[in-house]
Structure 1
Amino acid sequence: MSENTPTSGISADYAQRITDDLEANRSEQDRARAELTRLQDELIQLEEGEQILVKMQDVLGAAEKPAAPKSKGRKAAASVPAARGAKSRTATQKRGGGPKSRAGQQTAPEETATPKGAGEPTWRELVTGYLSDQREPKSAAEVTAALTEAHPQRTTQVAVVRNTLEQGVAHGLLERSKQGRSVYYSPVSASHLAEAGASAK
């Protein structure tokens, strides 16, 4: 039995090293995920800013184009407003997807809603609102599928939804749980939120 003692001691040392390495690995994974979440959030904000600037550029460009016919002769002055209105409508139809105005109806609501911004719910509102109506935790893929079906006019990506879910967890609005290799999310209970608010005071 004394011969087995050194072997068992070495095995215990290796087991401890493996445990320590595993904990360090998981810690690095958490750090990398946090950094990835931050970068994804920054990228989303930049992309949204770009969309707003492009829309504003289009609006300004459309407003300047009709002013050109005013410099053409006296006789054309009376007919310019009607022609200008027709041209601007035609240009709008072309930007919306060609001369078929009905076919462009799908893009029109998105174009008008994007510059307003305030009229549309944020991703966090959509995600937390959906999860609050669910009885069981949902994965990022399930949340993405549900939001895509409920809001077909918005471009929904799994990466964006997962980023929003992780932000909700970071802000104490959502809870993360694991089942095997899958990660699920659910809203934090009202009592837990009340306790967190009381402790913050």
Structure 2
Amino acid sequence: MSENTPTSGISADYAQRIEDDLAANRSEQDRARAELTRLQDEIAQLEEGERILVRMQDVLGDAVKSASRAGKGRRAPASVPAARSAGGGAAAKKRGSTPKSGARAGQRSDAGRTASSRKVSSKGTGGPTWRELVTSYLAGQREPKSAAEVAAALTEAHPQRSPQVTVVRNTLEQGVAHGLLERSKQGRSVYYSPVSAPDLDTAAVTAP
């Protein structure tokens, strides 16, 4: 029984690690689904706003056309006295400004749609991946770090991301699998560090 004890301990460690990674994976799925639902709701609101702005633009365009046709029907004859001609000129100037107002309204509508598009684009753009954050942090350390230490450091540097230890451990193991990081064990604790430059070049050459 004493010979089987180390093997049982290793199996228990891997079973616990797999369970933690599975929980992290499911947590990331829930977060991604929630983010997708939020983005879908935001897109629906923006599309509804666009429909309203287009209807307003169409209404303003119809009003401009109606005012232009009415102005042509009220055009004064050539024999109108000078005073009334001046009044007609003022009215013509007023009518002439209407299309410009409509154009400005259209420009404002276009600007509103452009701003909305930029808003969606900026929100849809993500930041650095977990792998980039983890490898960048470990690259600046002089000694290996545990998953808990990496998670604590990333939480302090990126509080808006609020990384969980299970997510960080899963990312670290992926880095080991891709030859970017190496794993070392001290007792029951596992530590991670970046692969040295020669080893990294060899991994890049032999990678499929």
The Cα shift of 1:34 comes to 3.4
Alignment partner, residue 6 of structure 1 = none
- TM-score, normalised via structure 2 length: 0.58
Q: 2:178 aligns with which of 139, 157, 171?
A: 171
Say if 1:52 and 1:124 are closer, same or farther in 2 by CA, change over 3 A: same
- Partner residue of 1:153? 160
Identical amino acids, percent of aligned pairs? 47
* Structure 1 residues without counterparts, runs of 5 or longer: 1-16, 93-108
181 and 47 in structure 1: CA distance in 2 versus 1, 3 angstrom threshold: same
Gaps of 5+ in 2: 64-100
Corresponding residue for residue 37 of structure 1 = 21
Alignment of 1:79-118 (within 5 A): 113-117=122-126
TM-score with structure 1 setting the length: 0.60
Cα distance change, pair 142–33 in 1 and its aligned pair in 2 (3 A): closer
Q: Name the larger-Rg structure.
A: 2
What SS does structure 2 have at the residue aligned with 1:18? Answer: coil
Per-residue CA deviations over 1:98-145 (Å, capped at 9, x if unaligned) read xxxxxxxxxxx9x8655123xx21000110011011111112222122
Question: 1:45-99, CA deviations, whole angstroms, 9 ceiling, x for partnerless residues?
Answer: 453254134213212223304635848xx79x899x79x98xx9xxx9xxxxxxx
8 Å CA contact 1:52–1:114 kept in 2: the answer is no
Aligned CA RMSD, in angstroms, stands at 3.9
Partner Cα separation in structure 2 for residue 177 and residue 124 of structure 1:
18
Higher relative contact order (CA 8 A, sep 6+): 2
- How many pairs are equivalent? 161
Match of 2:41 among 43, 47, 57: 57
